[in-house]
Amino acid sequence: AQSVAQPEDQVNVAEGNPLTVKCTYSVSGNPYLFWYVQYPNRGLQFLLKYITGDNLVKGSYGFEAEFNKSQTSFHLKKPSALVSDSALYFCAVRDIAHTGRRALTFGSGTRLQVQP
């Protein structure tokens, strides 16, 4: 079975400081990994994904994430946070080896609060 853990319900950071939102995953094969963002009263929006290749992937709005196979992690990062980054962030995984389950499995979400 595939699963995702986001250990922090909320992350608080001051504007201009770097931010990290943590994600760990569990799959039986190789993973596809994703980050999505949800702004208030909106659906989820795709931010970035790791499929293969370079472990550091860059996405929308200056976000990036690093795939670490040994630690089974895919943390989301940004060098300098903006107040407008305040939102709910979801990590998701798809196990390539799991042929019966193609849809993504999501975590519980981490609320990012950026203070001015």
Partner 1 sequence: ETGVTQTPRHLVMGMTNKKSLKCEQHLGHNAMYWYKQSAKKPLELMFVYSLEERVENNSVPSRFSPECPNSSHLFLHLHTLQPEDSALYLCASSQGYQENTGELFFGEGSRLTVL
- Find the binder of partner 1 among 8, 15, 49, 98 (CB under 8 A): 49
4 lies in the site for partner 1, by CB under 8 A: yes
CA distance linking residue 80 with residue 32, whole number of Å: 26
Question: What b-and-e string marks burial along 17-50, b requiring 16 or more CB atoms within 10 Å of the CB?
Answer: eebebbbbbebeeebbbbbbbeeeeeebeebbbb
68 lies in the site for partner 1, by CB under 8 A: no
Q: Are 108 and 91 within 8 A, CB to CB?
A: no
* Shortest CB 91 distance to partner 1, Å: 10
92 lies in the site for partner 1, by CB under 8 A: yes
43 lies in the site for partner 1, by CB under 8 A: yes
Residues at the site binding partner 1, with contacts judged by CB under 8 A: 4, 9, 32, 34, 36, 41-46, 49, 51, 90, 92, 94, 101-109
